[in-house]
């Protein structure tokens, strides 16, 4: 059989070697691929295939010729360089956006009005890089600094909101609007007493009431800007409301909530939970998603939660993680029914673990 990279061969697992390239998705007992097409085979992948009793796979570029082997190695090296360059560019864009947002946020604190043109210049270039960097969105919490949390948070919420909107099927124009909603939902924090925002101990009742007014401040800063769509303004006002009516500032529920607010609400909560804060350390996407599903059931839109789950599942296979027992592992396989409980293999060992059968363990950190 001829594939795009040359001849494809169907071989037994006991003949499979490291460095081979999978030419066709490999399935186990579920509809989700165990190994995706174009994956480079590693010892861990071979072990996982054996564990799931896969008997044979199709591979490509299986040549004995020295020249063909060298050509394949060079192509692989070029692809790695291209990916690393892309990631580096994206992270630099992210850091630049954080610093640009910090500059205009400090201006808002000093009384400057919102310049929506400058806001768009900050976030739209990043949204343009979204499709090539989906997996990196869920890793941005690593870059958050405690003393600059509010700036990192706003950019990260904008990006995650856009990613969720994409997965929900929104067209690019609305994806851009939803990202603006995520970016601006906390602009009203610039009107809150700064010492409250960075406080490392429990807020007093009065201080918490002041914090809960920030969606109103945000809305008031935007309401008279004609070039901002009403959906963005409503999404900003409602991003702390919940489907069951338990949110703030107006305690509205379900059908009264704008679709933009339902997306940004989850993105805002998720980013707040994964990021380092003045009162606690950062948490892994897996642990946070599990907490949201278990502790906040009925508060967030199920379709938006499903979109976040899809993003986490896509990120997972091949990722290195640290477990709650302190040991590092690699994710081998994710069952969509248990997205936070994948099959992992401890690094530098042959020991595999099904986290869904080990409830005392969880993924502490994505490395």
**CATH number, position 16:** 3.90.105.10
Q: Please, what is the average pLDDT of the chain?
A: 85
Torsion sign across C-alpha atoms 127, 157, 211, 189: negative
Q: What is the pLDDT of residues 5-64, one digit of tens each?
A: 455 677 777 778 888 888 888 876 556 677 778 788 887 778 777 767 677 888 875 444
73: left (phi over 0), alpha (psi -120 to 50) or beta: alpha
Q: Is residue 74 part of a domain?
A: no
Residue 81: the pLDDT is 42
Nearest to 270 by CA among 141, 365, 184: 141
Is residue 325 one of the residues assigned to a domain?
yes
Indicate whether 271 and 293 sit together in one domain. yes
277 occurs within a structural domain: yes
Residue with tokens 């580096």: 88
Chain centroid offset of residue 263 CA: 13
pLDDT by residue (tens digit) across 118-167? 999 999 999 999 888 888 898 888 888 888 999 999 999 999 999 999 99
Pair 337, 194 in one domain: no
CB 352 within 8 A of CB 345: yes
Q: Provide the pLDDT confidence category of residue 68 given band limits of 50, 70 and 90.
A: very low
Q: Are residues 209 and 246 in the same domain?
A: yes
State yes or no: pLDDT of 71 exceeds 80: no
Q: What is the DSSP letter of 43?
A: H
Q: Given 14, 32, 62, which residue is the final one in a domain?
A: 62
- Tell which residue, 286, 345, 335, has the closest CA to residue 33: 335
Sign of CA dihedral 264, 270, 272, 274: negative
275 part of a folded domain:
yes
- What is the predicted pLDDT for the residue at 162? 98
Mean pLDDT of 315-342: 88
Residues 337 and 224 in one domain: no
Residue 79 has pLDDT above 60, yes or no: no
> Which whole number is the average pLDDT over 294-321?
90
Q: What is the mean pLDDT of residues 342-363?
A: 90
- Omega before 249 within 30 of 0, i.e. cis: yes
Output the CA angle 339-340-345, nearest 5 degrees.
Answer: 100
Which residues, including other chains, have CB under 8 Å from residue 151's CB and lie 6 or more apart? 98, 99, 101, 102, 105
Question: What pLDDT is attached to residue 82?
Answer: 44
Q: Mean pLDDT, to the nearest integer, of 256-281? A: 90
pLDDT value of position 295: 84
Task: Confirm whether 72 is domain-assigned.
Answer: no
Residue where a domain stops, chosen among 274, 299, 315: 315
What is the pLDDT, as a whole number, of residue 88?
67
**CA–CA distance, 179 with 170 (Å, rounded to integer):** 12
Residues with Cβ within 8 Å of 329's Cβ and at least 6 positions away in sequence, in order, are 320, 321, 322, 323, 344, 345, 346, 347, 353
Kindly state whether residues 209 and 288 are assigned to the same domain: yes
Q: Are 178 and 301 contained in the same domain? A: yes
Averaged pLDDT, 323-345: 90
Q: Is 22 contained in some domain? A: yes
Residues 33 and 166 in one domain: no
As a whole-number percent, the residues of the chain with pLDDT over 70 amount to: 87
Query: pTM here?
Result: 0.77
pLDDT class for 67, splitting at 50, 70, 90?
very low
Residue by residue, DSSP assigns 235-263 as: HHHHTT--TTS--SSS---GGGS-HHHHH
Element (H, E) at 367: none
Q: Domain boundary residue among 31, 62, 93?
A: 62
Angle between helices 259-274 and 149-167 (to 10 degrees): 130
The angle subtended at Cα 328 by Cα 344 and Cα 155, nearest 5°, is 95
- Same domain for 201 and 257? yes
pLDDT value of position 32: 64
Read out DSSP for 1-32?
A: -EETTEEEEEEEGGG--TT-EE-S-EE-SSSS
- Look at residue 229 and tell me whether its pLDDT is greater than 80: yes
Q: Is 308 found in the same domain as 190?
A: yes
Question: How many Å apart are CA 366 and CA 107, to the nearest integer?
Answer: 35
Do 307 and 336 sit in the same domain of this protein?
A: no
For 192-198, what is the mean pLDDT?
90
More confident residue, 103 or 358: 103
pLDDT value of residue 345: 92
Residue 346, domain extent: 320-366
Pairing of strands 2-3, 56-60: unpaired
78 in any annotated domain = no
Is residue 58 domain-shared with residue 88, that is, in the same domain? no
Q: In the predicted model, is pLDDT for residue 312 greater than 80?
A: yes
215 and 154 housed in the same domain = yes
Rounded-to-5 percentages of helix, strand, coil across the chain: 55, 10, 35
CATH assignment at residue 186:
1.10.3210.10
Helix (H, G, I), strand (E, B) or coil at 58: strand
Per the structure, how many domains does the chain have? 3
For residue 105, tell me if it sits in a domain.
yes
Contact predicate 227/114, CB 8 Å: no
What average pLDDT does the segment 255-280 reach?
Answer: 91
With H, G, I as helix, E, B as strand and everything else as coil, classify residue 47. helix
CA 112 to chain centroid, in Å, comes to 32
* Residues constituting the chain: 367
């Amino acid at each position: 059989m001829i594939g795009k990279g040359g001849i494809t061969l169907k071989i037994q697992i006991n003949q499979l070697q490291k460095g081979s390239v999978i030419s066709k998705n490999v399935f186990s007992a579920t509809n989700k691929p165990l190994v995706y097409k174009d994956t480079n085979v590693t010892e861990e992948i071979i072990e996982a295939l054996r564990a799931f009793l896969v008997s044979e796979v199709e591979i490509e570029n299986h040549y004995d010729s020295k020249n063909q082997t060298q050509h394949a190695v060079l192509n692989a090296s070029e692809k790695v360089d291209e990916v690393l360059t892309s990631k580096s560019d994206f992270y630099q864009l992210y850091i630049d956006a954080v610093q640009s947002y910090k500059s205009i946020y400090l201006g808002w604190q000093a009384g400057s009005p919102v310049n929506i043109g400058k806001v768009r210049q900050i976030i739209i270039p990043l949204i343009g890089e979204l499709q090539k960097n989906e997996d990196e969105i869920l890793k941005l919490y690593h870059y958050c600094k405690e003393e600059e949390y509010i700036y990192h948070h706003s950019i990260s919420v904008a990006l995650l909101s856009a990613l969720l909107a994409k997965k929900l099927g929104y067209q690019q124009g609305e994806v851009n609007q939803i990202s603006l909603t995520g970016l601006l939902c906390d602009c009203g924090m610039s009107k809150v007493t700064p010492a409250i925002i960075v406080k490392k101990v429990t807020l007093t009742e009065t201080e918490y009431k002041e914090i809960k007014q920030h969606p109103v401040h945000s809305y008031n800063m935007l309401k008279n800007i004609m070039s901002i769509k009403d959906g963005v303004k409503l999404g900003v006002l409602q991003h702390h409301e919940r489907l069951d009516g338990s949110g703030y500032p107006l305690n509205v529920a379900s059908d009264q909530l704008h679709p933009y607010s339902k997306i940004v609400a989850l993105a805002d909560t998720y980013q707040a939970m994964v990021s380092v804060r003045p009162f606690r350390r950062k948490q892994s996407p897996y642990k946070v998603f599990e907490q949201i599903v278990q502790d906040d059931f009925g508060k967030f839109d199920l379709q938006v939660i499903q979109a976040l789950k899809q993003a986490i599942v896509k990120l997972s296979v091949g990722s290195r993680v640290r477990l709650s027992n302190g040991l590092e592992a690699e994710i081998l396989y994710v069952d969509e029914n248990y997205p936070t409980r994948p099959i992992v293999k401890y690094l530098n060992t042959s020991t595999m673990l099904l986290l869904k059968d080990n409830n005392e363990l969880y993924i502490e950190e994505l490395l």
